[in-house]
Amino acid sequence: MKPPPFDYHAPRSLGEALDALAEAGEHGKVLAGGQSLIPMLNMRLAAPAHLVDINRLSELATLDVGPDGVRVGALARHAQVERSERVAAVQPLLREALRLVAHPVIRNRGTVVGSLAHADPAAELPAVLALLGGSVRLARPGVTRDVPAADFFVGPLESAVESGELAVSAFFPALLPRSGTAFREVARRHGDYALAGIAALVRLDDDLRITSATVACVSVGPVPVVVDVTAACGHRPPATADWASAAWAVQDRVDPETDIHATADYRRHLTGVLAEQALRDAAREATGA
Ligand SMILES: Cc1cc2nc3c(=O)[nH]c(=O)nc-3n(C[C@H](O)[C@H](O)[C@H](O)COP(=O)(O)OP(=O)(O)OC[C@H]3O[C@@H](n4cnc5c(N)ncnc54)[C@H](O)[C@@H]3O)c2cc1C
pLDDT digits (tens, 9 = 90+) for 146-165: 999 999 999 999 999 999 99
What's residue 190's pLDDT?
Answer: 86
Q: What is this structure's pTM?
A: 0.97
Which phi and psi (to 5°) does residue 11 adopt? -60, 150
Whether pLDDT at 166 is above 80: yes
Q: How far apart are CA 222 and CA 230, in angstroms?
A: 24
pLDDT digits (tens, 9 = 90+) for 258-271: 999 999 999 999 99
What's residue 129's pLDDT?
Answer: 98
pLDDT digits (tens, 9 = 90+) for 39-94: 999 999 999 999 999 999 999 999 999 999 999 999 999 999 999 999 999 999 99
Distance 170 CA to ligand 1 centre (A): 14
Q: How far apart are CA 175 and CA 164, in angstroms?
A: 33
Mean per-residue pLDDT, 132-145:
98
Distance 182 CA to ligand 1 centre (A): 23
pLDDT digits (tens, 9 = 90+) for 226-255: 999 999 987 899 999 999 999 999 999 999
Q: Which ligand 1 atom sits nearest the alpha carbon of residue 138?
A: 42
Q: Which ligand 1 atom sits nearest the alpha carbon of residue 111?
A: 25
Q: Ligand 1 pocket: which of 118, 128, 183 to mutate (most atoms <8 Å of CB)? A: 118
* Domains, the chain, with CATH or none: 1-175 (3.30.465.10), 179-288 (3.30.390.50)
Distance 194 CA to ligand 1 centre (A): 15
pLDDT digits (tens, 9 = 90+) for 100-113: 999 999 999 999 99
Pocket of ligand 1 (CB under 6 A): 29-37, 74, 101-102, 106, 110-111, 113-115, 117-118, 123-125, 161, 166-167, 193
- Considering only CA atoms, which residue is closest to atom 3 of ligand 1? 102
| Arithmetic mean of pLDDT over the chain | 96
209 CB neighbour count, 10 Å cutoff: 15
- Considering only CA atoms, which residue is closest to atom 21 of ligand 1? 115
